[in-house]
Amino acid sequence: MSDRAAYLRAAAQLRGNAGQWAAYESRGHCIVLAGPGSGKTKTLTTKMARLLAEDVAEPRGVACITFNNECARELEGRLAALGVEPDGRVFIGTVHSFSLTQIILPYAKVAGLGLPDDFGVATRAERQAALSNAVLRTMDYAGNPQDWEFRLASYRRSILNRDSVQWQETDPELAGLVEAYEAELRLRGLIDFDDMPLLAVRALREKPWLQRALLAKYPVLVVDEYQDLGLALHRMVMGLCFSAGMRLFAVGDADQSIYGFNGAQPELLRRLSEREDVETVRLRLNYRSGTRIVAASSVALGEERGYEAAEGAPLGTVFVHAVQGAYPQQARHLIANLLQRAMAGKPGLRYRDVAVLYPAAWIGDSVADAARQAGIPVVRTDGNALYPRASRLMQWLELCAQWCCGGWRAGDPRFSRLVAEGRRLFAESIRGEDQVGDFHRRLIDGLWNVRDPSLPLHAWLVRLKEQLIDPLGLGCVSLRDELETLAAFVARTSPEGDCPGMLLGEMAGDGGGLDRLTLSSLHSAKGREFAVVFLFGMDAGRLPRNDAGRQQLAEARRLFYVGFTRAKSEVHLIHTVGRASQFVDELEQHLR
C-alpha cells in the first residue's frame, strides 16, 4: 500500500465523525478541542500525513510539538503506520527539543544568545550547584538552597520578558536569584531545560529573520496537548503562526490541564480557540468509555460538556469502595479481593489491561508491596519507577531489550525501528551516511549475541553503554542528563546496588512487553487507557489537598477527571472509611 493510500484509508474512517472530518478538511489555523477518548491522536496523525502529502512541497516539512517524549514516541508510531517516517522534513518532539535542535543549536551564535560554541545541558548535580552558589551570593538564607528551586522555576516560566517592569517588580528577590542562577550556569558553559524555550522565545522576539528561517523550513506547526505546554510555547505560536505566517493545527483539552505546577495555563488554549482567525472544532464523541462512565465523567469534571459514548459502547460500571485501615491494609484488600473479583468477572482480562492510579507516588508503594507479596508482576510509571519513564534514552533501551527478548524473531519491535529511533536519539553524533552505516553495524554487533531474557541486566547495560552509548552520547548536548540517569540505573542493577539480580527480561517487561499490572500516579496516567481502572487513595486531604486554593482545587478536579476517564469498562473509586474526597461524594450522589 502506498503512503498516499495509507493515509487516505485512515481519512475515510474519519468521515463518520463530523468533528474529526472538519479538522481533517481544515485549510487555515485550526484548533481541535478534544475530549477524552475522542480519537484526537488518530485525527492529528492523519491530518499530518495529509499535510505532508498534499499541502507541503518537499523539501519543506511539518514540525510537531508535543508534551513529553512518550507522546512523541506514540505519534511517531502512528505516523509510521501511515507511511510517514520522521526525517529531515518531519520534526516530532517536545518544546524543549524543538527549541534546542531547531533554534538554539543552529542559530545561537548568529542570534547573539551569548552561549559558548561548546555549551552543554546541565545535569541535576550541576543545576543544584549553580542554585546553591546563586542563593549564597544574593540572599541571607540559612536553609537548604534547593528550597528555592520550585519558586525559581515558576518565576522564570511565568514572566518571559526580562526587560519588563513586571519581571523586576513582581518579586525583586526572585528576579535577582534567577539572574544569579543563570549567570552561574553560563560561567560553567551550561544551560538547563527551562533555558531552552526561554532562549528560543527571546531569539524569536529579537530576531524576526529567525521566524522567517523557521517558516521556510516548516510552513505548518502542529501542537499536541496544547493545554499542558505553557507560556513559552504559546509565545512561540503567537509569533510563528500569527506574525510570521506558519499555519497552526493544534489539539488539546483545557479540562485535562493538570500541570499547573510546571507552568501550564489552560486559559491560553481557551483564548486561542476564541480567535476570529481560527477555526475551532470540538470532538464530543467518546470511543473509549462505556455509556455510564461517560455520563458520570461530567459529574467528575463538575461541568457538562455534552460528551456522548460512541454507538454500540458497553454500559460501563462505576464502583465506590470505602475501605478500613491505612494504605498498606487497603492495598492488600485491593489486590486480594477487588482486583481478583474484577479479573474473574471479565474472562480474558489480563493484568496489562488494568491500572491502579493514585494521587502521589508514595501511595503507590503500598500497592506495589501488596502486589509483590501476591506474586503479581507490576510496572510502575510514577516517580518511584526504576527509572524516569519519559527518558528518551531509557525508552530506546526498553525497545532494545524487547528486541533481544524475542522481538528479533517476532518482528516486534522491528530492528529498523531501533535504528531509526537510535539515529534520532544520537542525531548530534550521527550525521553523514558513513556514520549511519557504522551505527547500524555497531547496534547489530551490540545486540545479536545477547538475545536472551535470562541474561543479567547489569552486564547487558554495561556492554551496550561501553560499546555504543557512551561513544555516541558524549557528543550529544541534549543527552547529558539522560546519560546521568542511565549511569544511576546501571549502578542500581550492579551487585552493590539496590536492584541486583535483575534480568534482561524485566527491562523488556517494563517496556510493556509482558503481562503486568500498571501502577501509576494520576499525572503519569495522562493519555493512557485501560479496561479497568482503580483510583486508589481518593481521600479528602489527598485529592484535593486540605489547603487547596481556588486554582489548586480546580486542577485537582481536572486531575480526578483525567484518572476517571482512563477507563473503558470499569472504574473503582477506593477511599478510607469516613474520609471520601468531595469528588467521590459527588459521584456517589449521582450514582444513587
Give the CA count within 13 Å in the CB-facing half-sphere of 102. Answer: 32
Q: Is the peptide bond before 219 cis (omega within 30 degrees of 0)?
A: no
Residue 306, strand partner residues: none
Cα separation, 232 vs 408, in Å, equals 42
**35 is known to lie in a ligand binding site:** yes
Contact 361, 525 (CB under 8 A): no
The CA–CA distances, whole Å, from 559 to 205, 222, 428 equal 34, 25, 37
CA atoms within 13 A on the CB side of 440: 11
- The cell for 522 is 494520576
Would you say 239 is a known binding-site residue?
no
Long-range residue pairs from 444-452, CB within 8 A, at least 24 positions apart, any chain: 444/415, 447/400, 447/403, 447/404, 447/408, 447/418, 450/404, 450/504, 451/403, 451/404, 451/405, 451/408, 452/404, 452/405, 452/504
Report the sign of the C-alpha dihedral through residues 203, 205, 210, 215, in that order: positive
Q: Is 37 annotated as a binding residue?
A: yes
Host H or E run for residue 320: strand 317-323
Place of cell 547496534: 443
Q: Residue 36 CB: number of other CB atoms within 10 A?
A: 27
CA distances from 342 to 293, 349, 369, 570 (A): 16, 9, 20, 9
Determine whether the annotation assigns residue 39 to a binding site.
Answer: yes
Does 134 carry a binding-site annotation?
no
DSSP result, 376-412: --EEE-STTSSS-TT-HHHHHHHHHHHIIIIIHHHTS
Distance CA 527, CA 228 (A): 12
The single-letter code of the amino acid at 296 is A
- Count Cβ neighbours within 10 Å for each residue of 488-500 and write b for 16 or more, e otherwise: ebbebbbeeeeee
> Which residues pair with residue 542 across a beta bridge?
545
Exposure letters 247-286 (e unless 16+ CB within 10 A, then b): bbbbbbbbbbbbbbeebbbbebbeebbeeeebbbbbbebb
CB atoms within 10 A of CB 415: 17
Other CB atoms within a 10 A radius of the CB of residue 423 amount to 18
Which runs of E-coded beta strand occur in 376-511? 378-380
Does 38 carry a binding-site annotation? Answer: yes
d(CA 381, CA 367): 13
Q: How far apart are CA 255 and CA 36, in angstroms?
A: 9
Question: Which residues lie below 8 Å from residue 515, measured CB to CB, with a gap of 6+?
Answer: 350, 351, 352, 377
> Binding site: which residues?
34-41
> Binding site for ATP: which residues?
34-41
